[in-house]
Amino acid sequence: MLGFPASFNGLSNQLITRGKITLSHSKPPDSSSTDGTGSMFPSILTRYGQIIQESLISSIPSSQLELFSPLRYHMGWETPIGEHIQNPSNQGKSLRSALCLFASEALNGDWKQSIPAAVAIDLIHNFSLIHDDIQDGDITRRNMPTLWYVWGHNKAILAGNVMHALAYKTALTLVNKGISHKKAMDTSRLLAESSLSMIRGQCLDLNFEKVTEISVEQYLEMIRLKTGTLIACSLEIGALLASANHIQMRRFSEYGGHIGKLFQIRDDVLGIWGDSKKTGKATANDIRRKKKSLPIVYAFNKAKGQALISLNRIYQKESVTEIEVEEVLNILDQLEAQQFASSLVAHEAELAMKTIQNSNIQPWALIEAQELIEFLVLREY
């Protein structure tokens, strides 16, 4: 076990395969240990899963006050009428929280001290999802009706705000875990700053809905802000709490930035070409929703003649027919939009690999950080 983190010792039900470690008991309940392509579910996402869920549950008051019930529903723990769900299958994967704890552990910190920060990040992420769903008019998330669809816009705005305030309240409890007041404050500051960047990304995203002339660079800047900064912040905070070494904090943050971008672009690919059995969403769903994801942005930039006329016509319409969905899929095919998006995923993966290799972390942590990249590049759901 030499070279593996202390927290691994004493855990009985370990499964070590090809240098990859999966703890079957802490595996997210809605996933198997393989993703269907034979690749293992990465250790970073499994090892902290259970403790993150337990800590998240504690961070949202179990009070019967009407204020908190929609939050528990959104997290997948309760039905809309407040009935407890025994084995929730619709909760999030807590990627951001896991990355925060991983960064702390990779730098030899006591990762359990970082739990309140990991939870706070997850709450910020979920606050943004609740408000995003209102803005996008999305009616399902994780196979369930969205919060606003159940409670209406007004209550959903409040629920997001409650989640937002709870995030800051939770971050401050770091001091109860032995973290200094200074570090707890720096955590709050990083949270607030990355939230502002995230909201800036949401603002750009809203603007993109109304225009078709978006360059690939503009799109990448939008996802850097909307998705990348909070993921980067998760790793930066984890590093801060473990070591406060600024060079390491920056490297982890950079690694997170690349992870965030590749995660989002892979999401864009799955939103169009994903297997509905694996994603839980219909194939070409993002075309039906007229979402300006990377393949579409690319196509608008590359298309000429009849293809461009068709794209303009279809994306100006109120709703899209199935024949038009096929038309867009054909145009994307001709322009090799999927290959383009996948090449960007591969590019970000390469940058993430290089960054983490230069970070001087222990071998086990390097393996896990690389394993996560591979998983995110290949994931099919």
Structure tokens at 123: 């709450």
Find, among 324, 321, 346, the residue nearest to 265 by Cα. 346
Structure tokens at 5: 């983190």
**What does the H/E/C string look like for 89-120?**
CCCCCCHHHHHHHHHHHHCCCCHHHHHHHHHH
Q: Which is nearer to a second copy, 184 or 376 (CB)?
A: 184
CA distance 203 to 134: 14
CA distance 259 to 348: 7
Which one of residues 112, 164, 290, 302 is an interface residue with a second copy (CB under 8 A)?
A: 164
244 in contact with a second copy (CB under 8 A): no
Which one of residues 24, 135, 215, 343 is an interface residue with a second copy (CB under 8 A)?
A: 135
Contact region for a second copy (CB under 8 A) — 44-52, 98-106, 183-191, 358-366?
Answer: 183-191
Which one of residues 1, 16, 29, 181 is an interface residue with a second copy (CB under 8 A)?
A: 181
Q: Which is nearer to a second copy, 175 or 366 (CB)?
A: 175
User: CA torsion, points 257, 276, 292, 127, in degrees to nearest 10?
Assistant: -60
First and final C-alpha spacing in the chain: 32
175 in contact with a second copy (CB under 8 A): yes
Q: Which is nearer to a second copy, 150 or 175 (CB)?
A: 175
Structure tokens at 223: 């996802």
Structure tokens at 154: 């007004």
Which one of residues 11, 16, 139, 203 is an interface residue with a second copy (CB under 8 A)?
A: 203
Which one of residues 4, 8, 168, 315 is an interface residue with a second copy (CB under 8 A)?
A: 168
Contact region for a second copy (CB under 8 A) — 90-98, 172-180, 232-240, 324-332?
Answer: 172-180
Q: What is the DSSP letter of 228?
A: I
Residue 155 one-letter amino acid? K
Which one of residues 30, 33, 58, 67 is an interface residue with a second copy (CB under 8 A)?
A: 67
84 in contact with a second copy (CB under 8 A): no
155 in contact with a second copy (CB under 8 A): yes
157 in contact with a second copy (CB under 8 A): yes
Which one of residues 84, 169, 246, 277 is an interface residue with a second copy (CB under 8 A)?
A: 169
Cβ(120)–Cβ(191) under 8 Å?
yes
CA distance 278 to 267: 13
131 in contact with a second copy (CB under 8 A): yes
Q: Which is nearer to a second copy, 143 or 207 (CB)?
A: 207
E strand spans, the chain: 14-17, 20-23, 140-141, 144-145
CA distance 156 to 211: 27
Residue by residue, DSSP assigns 45-88 as HHHTHHHHHHHHHHHS----STTTHHHHHHTTSB-TT-PBPSS-
Q: Which is nearer to a second copy, 183 or 302 (CB)?
A: 183
**Binding mask of the shown chain, residues 303 to 322, with x at each position contacting a second copy by CB under 8 A:** --------------------
Cβ at position 136, least distance to a second copy in Å: 9
180 in contact with a second copy (CB under 8 A): yes
Size of the site for a second copy (CB under 8 A): 39
Cβ(190)–Cβ(236) under 8 Å?
yes
366 in contact with a second copy (CB under 8 A): no
166 in contact with a second copy (CB under 8 A): yes
Cβ at position 183, least distance to a second copy in Å: 9
Contact region for a second copy (CB under 8 A) — 179-187, 232-240, 258-266, 289-297?
Answer: 179-187
CA distance 295 to 69: 38
Token pair 């720096």 is at which residue?
Answer: 186
62 in contact with a second copy (CB under 8 A): no
Find, among 218, 330, 223, the residue nearest to 284 by Cα. 330
143 in contact with a second copy (CB under 8 A): no
Q: Which is nearer to a second copy, 237 or 377 (CB)?
A: 237
Give the distance from CA 149 to its chain's centroid: 22
Residues at the site binding a second copy, with contacts judged by CB under 8 A = 65-67, 131, 134-135, 153-155, 157-158, 160-162, 164-166, 168-169, 172, 175, 180-182, 184-185, 188-189, 191-193, 195-196, 199-200, 202-203, 206-207
